Amino acid sequence: MPLRAFGVVSGPQVINALEGNYSNWSIYDSLDDADFVTAGAWFHTIVETSDGKSLQFINENDNYVKQYTIATKTLAAKTVIDAIPACYFFRSALGKYFVSLSAGRANLLIWKNGLLVQTTAMASLGLTSLYDVGIGFSGKYVLLSGVRTASGNKGWVILVGA
């Protein structure tokens, strides 16, 4: 039975809208980021906008936010921020999806409903160093940071679920 609170109906239809039904993730885009200064493991966050048209990349060590437009694969200029509350996203909105790194940061691990559904080697992601990982609220987008194989620069890899 759906739960009604403050005029909002929740239930299966709401849950499906919050989190999709994805079973594999592949590279959507990979790009350098000249503003990415801090090396090594650090935390970042990926936030999907409510219209589904862009992602917000929050670099919590270098204190900036950048907007990534999905359709055009463009990364906007940074917006410097003073401080960021601890808001790390390693799981989707309701916990259906969860991302982690294997021991030694050699592999990306993606979990669905408590089961490991995908293991991807760092080399397959186009990275020579894998720093950190985050997942969007819907589970559709996964964001990785590290050193890109193609350029040798620090940057981002965006995966999309299907």
Q: Could you report the per-residue pLDDT of 10-52, keeping only the tens digit for each? A: 455 555 567 889 999 999 999 999 888 776 545 566 777 767 7
Confidence (pTM): 0.78
Cβ-Cβ contacts under 8 Å for 110 (sequence gap 6 or more):
25, 97, 98, 99, 116, 117, 118, 119, 120, 142
Residue 130 clears pLDDT 80, i.e. is over it: yes
Q: Per-domain residue ranges for the chain? A: 20-161
